[in-house]
Structure 1
Amino acid sequence: MINTPQSKLIYVHDPMCSWCWGYAPTWHALEAALVNKLPIEYRVGGLAADTDLPMSQDMQLQLQAIWQKISSQLGTEFNFDFWRDCQPRRSTYPSCRAALIARSFNKEPQMIAAIQQAYYLQAQNPSDEAVLIKLSEKIGLDPRLFAQQLHSNELKRRFDDELNYVRSLPIQGFPSLVLIHNNRAYPIAINYTDWRQTLIEIQSYL
């Protein structure tokens, strides 16, 4: 593969997307295979907008069924105590903003991993800013500065710009991969268990 300014792979995700959590091991293997070969950009997709309303019972049951499906198909670990111990809200925008703040300090992958582990393994709710602030400290950020930035106009602008950009890409959900090559965007099929198949598809364009 040739590393050219015209080529990059965009990983579109949401830190609280359960399929992104299921894809994580395969994604990291693909990412490692592309180190020093193809630039990679993370982009947050914004799965669910801000809300203070509790998640409906129907939605809770629907998401629990998705977790069970992912666990069955991919062997992904989930801590179902979340649904007993937390008050779920259908809101992933705060975790997306947290990822953007971490990106400014070159810690975006660490923040994503911290959010996913807190949510899916430790039964914590990343829709709550208090959880995100604690995670920011865990990955080495200044929690007071992080808390200030969560509500800044600059972060709001960056997040709006990111959502607009993601919506311009040829994606149909999260996670998604898009290869930019010679100023064209190519959707890359997600294989949840075999990163090599994805690598072969990427290489076919380059």
Structure 2
Amino acid sequence: MGNGSDSPTLIYVTNPMCAWCYGFTAVVRRLRALWQGRLKVQVLFGDLHAYADSPLQQHEKDQLAVSWHRVQERTFLPFDYRFFKDQDFVYNTEPACRALLCVRLLRPVLTLEVLRAMHSAFYADGLDIRNPGVLARIVSMFGISENLFLTLFESEEIMQQMEDEFGYVNDIGADTFPSVFLLTNHGIEQIAKGYIELYELEQRILTVMEHANS
């Protein structure tokens, strides 16, 4: 995944069912708008409980609840806490990641916008974004044909590509979500591990770019 030009590429490693990513996607969207023409943004999806097949245990729900409250306190984003009444929820994030991979292949310019919509659907509206029908309706709001989406979503090729992406993300060391890397002509460097504010992210980008150009 080379750079191919003098413009650096910010690699945002995320997951649509990661609470801190719900908060951080807004930061990345603002950054992209402010740095338009100076910085490319690439979105990759990481393995957060992908392929989980057993319901959440109470201690896992307790940990999630703490994270949700912390994100809400820091970002003021809405959360639907009725989620925690579901006794049988299996926290499998692979379908939502695969749906976003489909979007990135079909309409790459929309990837961040659909990611934001999926975050809101899950956290604010309490929708089940593991469900292919729900995912198809979300992407259709952005002009993507539900039939085209579902054909790609259900293909063996996209499932394999999703596994490969999880592997790549793991190989570059993105074991926390969100994670941010900067790809320059000097290589790839991790600049954030977890949520940070926009001004701090910009400072880290500028520092890496200064070193790359010195």
- Alignment TM-score, normalising by the size of structure 1: 0.88
Q: Is the 8 A contact 1:50 1:93 kept in 2?
A: yes
* Shift of residue 183, structure 1, vs aligned partner: 4.2
Q: Does 1:157 align with 2:160?
A: yes
Moved over 6 A (4+): none
Q: Is the 8 A contact 2:29 2:112 kept in 1?
A: no
Match of 2:147 in 1: 144
- How do residues 51-200 of structure 1 correspond to structure 2 at under 5 angstroms? 51-84=52-85, 87-106=88-107, 107-189=110-192, 192=195, 194-200=197-203
Larger displacement relative to structure 2 (9-18 or 63-72): 63-72
SS in 2 for 1:189: strand
Question: What amino acid sits opposite 1:165 in the alignment?
Answer: Y
Q: Does 1:34 align with 2:31?
A: no
Q: Residues 132-158 of structure 1: CA distance to partner in whole angstroms, max 9, x if unpaired? A: 122122222211222222221110222
Question: What amino acid sits opposite 2:205 in the alignment?
Answer: I
* Shift of residue 191, structure 1, vs aligned partner: 7.8
* Shift of residue 23, structure 1, vs aligned partner: 1.6
* Shift of residue 81, structure 1, vs aligned partner: 2.1
Larger displacement relative to structure 2 (11-20 or 132-141): 132-141
- Alignment TM-score, normalising by the size of structure 2: 0.85
Question: What amino acid sits opposite 1:198 in the alignment?
Answer: L
* Shift of residue 85, structure 1, vs aligned partner: 6.2
Larger displacement relative to structure 2 (127-136 or 7-16): 127-136
Q: Cα 1:152–1:177, aligned 2, differ >3 Å: closer, same or farther?
A: same
Contiguous gaps of at least 5 residues in structure 1: none
* Shift of residue 91, structure 1, vs aligned partner: 0.6
SS in 1 for 2:42: strand
Contiguous gaps of at least 5 residues in structure 2: 210-214
